[in-house]
Each structure stands twice: as C-alpha cells, then as structure tokens.
C-alpha cells in the first residue's frame, strides 16, 4: 500500500484528487473523490471507462508525446487510485491545467499553437 499525505497534493478535478507519487516524482496518483450515492457510482464508472480507454491506447502502440501514460491502479491509504505519468514543465514544476491557460489571455496564442501541434 502506498502512503499519501496532503504535502503530495497538487490538483483536483471534477472526479479525482491528484497527488505526486511518493516514490517517483515522475508519476502521479489520482484518487476518486469521496461522495455518497449515485455520484460515487458515476465517478467510478467514468474512471473505469477512462482506464479501459487508456489500456486500448497502450495496446495500439500510439505516441505518448501529448498524453499522460496510464500505469495501472494501486491501493493507497486514501483508497484505490490510478497511476499516471506526471507531466512537468521545463522548469520541473507540475504543468498547469488547461483551465489556467484559458484564464490567462496572454497565453491563449501559445495554447493555440500547441493545439495545432497536437492535431
């Protein structure tokens, strides 16, 4: 079991909380948000679907240049989590979210150029 703590936290989304992997800072662990009832089941279903999709991508031998690679699931002290490659900037900081760039108009042009590169 991997032990996580709040000092490893770096982001959260609509379905998961993200932590830097304590043994490998090139990886992160995404833990599903805890909630009651229908929302929890919906979150679990979405995560299973995403992990299956990543599994298919891995079998297809795609380029991972623009995607965070899924590495599997793991038990943690915060519950079951999914391990992914942690994307970092050139300065070694955890990369900013898409939402961050959308909130900074001066960065939009740079984002558009990267979008074209991704296509």
CB 46 within 8 A of CB 15: yes
pLDDT at 33: 84
If residue 82 lies in a helix (H) or strand (E), which one and from where to where? strand 79-85
Q: How confident is the model at residue 116 (pLDDT cuts 50, 70, 90)?
A: low
Token pair of 6, please?
A: 């709040």
Q: Residue 1: what pLDDT?
A: 95
Which whole number is the average pLDDT over 47-54? 85
Q: Would you say 17 and 33 are in contact if contact means Cβ atoms under 8 Å apart?
A: yes
């Amino acid at each position: 079991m991997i032990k996580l703590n709040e000092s490893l936290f770096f982001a959260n989304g609509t379905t998961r909380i993200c932590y830097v992997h304590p043994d490998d800072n090139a990886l992160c662990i995404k833990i599903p948000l805890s909630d009651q009832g229908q929302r929890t089941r919906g979150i679990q279903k979405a995560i299973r679907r995403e992990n299956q999709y990543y599994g298919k991508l891995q079998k297809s031998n795609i380029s991972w240049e623009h995607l965070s690679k899924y590495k599997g699931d793991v038990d943690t002290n915060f519950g079951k989590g999914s391990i992914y490659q942690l994307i970092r900037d050139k300065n070694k900081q955890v990369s900013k979210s898409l939402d961050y760039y959308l909130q900074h108009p001066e960065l939009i042009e740079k984002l558009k150029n990267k979008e074209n590169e991704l296509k």
